[in-house]
Amino acid sequence: MVRWWWSRAADEPAAAPKPTVPPAAAPAAASATPRVTRDRITAWFDSQGYVFFTDAQGELGGLWRSNVFSFVLGGVDEHILQVRGQWHRLVTIDRIEEILEICNAWNTERLWPKCYVKVRDDGQISVVAEVSTEVEHGADDAQLGTALLCGLSAASLFFSSLDERYPDPASLPPAVAG
């Protein structure tokens, strides 16, 4: 008689599964992870000593390294935390191809932030970087801080690379700038 590795003889029929009765549906336990709210974001800003503002629509914002950032809870249930920054300078439309190449190269080589341009009504280009984080199931204080710092630091890194590539002419000596 051939034996299988779990010790059932080859000619023995497999036992029929025993019927199981599903356990009574238990009420869902309340999540121990707190929901991400504007109040928790502002509390984190306060704990870090950051200066921020609330605009007329209730969105949070601030200046980091001269770049304007917004902190938005999006989606129907506000389950997406988005940290979005805008580079502190505008770019002429004549440079759109090179700026798009820089954004595309960054997006290809790095996970964060997502970088793109917006063409304004006056024909100038705004360069934007953003990091979005799913917070549907909440986030503890450490997780919230990590998500906010990730958005701020990743976008700031991208903006610093733009500052290096396009130095502010006013910061250079006249002979170099002219």
Instruction: Please indicate, yes or no, if residue 32 is contained in any of the structural domains.
Output: no
* CATH assignment at residue 75: 3.30.1460.70
pLDDT at 30: 56
How many structural domains comprise the chain? 1
In the numeric block, the tokens 């549907």 are attached to 136
Instruction: Please indicate, yes or no, if residue 31 is contained in any of the structural domains.
Output: no
Instruction: Please indicate, yes or no, if residue 33 is contained in any of the structural domains.
Output: no
Instruction: Please indicate, yes or no, if residue 172 is contained in any of the structural domains.
Output: no
> 21 pLDDT exceeds 80?
no
With cut-offs at 50, 70 and 90, classify the pLDDT of residue 87: very high
> 4 pLDDT exceeds 70?
no
Helix residue ranges, H only, 27-172: 38-48, 96-109, 141-165
User: Residues 22-73: pLDDT tens digits?
Assistant: 555 444 455 589 999 999 999 999 999 999 999 999 999 999 999 999 999 9
With cut-offs at 50, 70 and 90, classify the pLDDT of residue 19: low
Instruction: Please indicate, yes or no, if residue 129 is contained in any of the structural domains.
Output: yes
Q: Which domain holds residue 97?
A: 38-166
**Coil, strand, or helix at residue 8?**
coil
pLDDT at 169: 84
Q: Which of 72, 94, 80 is nearest to 135 (CA)?
A: 80
Cβ atoms of 33 and 140 within 8 Å: the answer is: yes
> 110 pLDDT exceeds 70?
yes
User: In degrees rounded to 5, what are phi and psi of residue 97?
Assistant: -65, -45
Angle at 71 between CA 36 and CA 34, to 5 degrees: 5
With cut-offs at 50, 70 and 90, classify the pLDDT of residue 101: very high
Instruction: Please indicate, yes or no, if residue 24 is contained in any of the structural domains.
Output: no
Sheet bearing 125-134, strands edge to edge: 53-54, 60-64, 67-74, 80-86, 125-134, 114-119
With cut-offs at 50, 70 and 90, classify the pLDDT of residue 7: very low
Instruction: Please indicate, yes or no, if residue 1 is contained in any of the structural domains.
Output: no
